[in-house]
Amino acid sequence: MNALTINDATSRIKDDLSQTPNVADACYRVLDWVCTQPEGARSHVSLQRLLKASAVDDLSELAPVIRYLTGARVPLFNVVYEFVEGDDVERVDSDALYEAKHTGEFCHPLTGEVVPDYESKIVVYFAVSDAARSIGGAGR
């Protein structure tokens, strides 16, 4: 996996998002915010934190920012899905959720039993990706 540097990220945002300056600015703000975060905070980033860091007005405006920052050009974040039921917490692969969406059935990661209303038991957050590990410590 190629490492993503702060210079890579900023120059790609500039090149790729010139037609959508609002999205580009929000991406820069998120990038700056990530730079200031301690190691421990980078593995569990909620949507609410990204909303505040990006300074966009609502979740719909956050969508293009997240699409870009989880994509192939600037893979700053991984999306993390966890199945949470009682004390059980298990990571879930996004492809398992794709299958579930198509089949309508999600199987419990440990028991294999079909879980009714599974989307109410899957939580979503973000983690700074391994590729972006070198980003941090200083602002843009």
Partner 1 sequence: MSQSVLDEDVPFTLKQLRALSPGLASALDRGFTKSYDFFVEKLYQDIDEVTAVIERGRDVRRDDSEDRTTEEIVSFLIGRGYAATANSHQSGHCDITVENRAGLVWLGEAKKHSDYDYLWKGFNQLTTRYSTGAPSSTSGGMLIYIRTQKPASDVIAEWRQRLGVQALADYVESDCSERPGLSFYSHHKHGVSGLTYSVRHMGIMMAFAPKDDGAKLQKKADDNATGTPASATPAVVDALAKSGD
- Residue 40's contacts (CB-CB under 8 Å, 6 or more residues apart) are none
- Choose between 35 and 80: whose C-beta lies nearer to partner 1: 80
How far, CA to CA in Å, does 108 sit from each of 29, 44, 123, 125, 137? Answer: 38, 23, 14, 20, 40
What is d(CA 64, CA 70) in angstroms, rounded to the nearest whole number? Answer: 10
By CB atoms closer than 10 A (0-12, 13-18, 19+), residue 112 is: exposed
- Residues lying near partner 1 in the complex (CB under 8 A) are found at 16-17, 19-20, 23, 46-49, 51, 58-60, 62-64, 66-75, 78-79, 81-82, 94-95, 97-99, 117, 119-125
HSE-CB of 88 using CA atoms within 13 angstroms: 10
Q: Min. distance of Cβ 139 from partner 1 in angstroms? A: 23
- Choose between 108 and 121: whose C-beta lies nearer to partner 1: 121
- Choose between 46 and 134: whose C-beta lies nearer to partner 1: 46
Q: Min. distance of Cβ 54 from partner 1 in angstroms? A: 12
Q: Min. distance of Cβ 140 from partner 1 in angstroms? A: 20
- Choose between 72 and 138: whose C-beta lies nearer to partner 1: 72
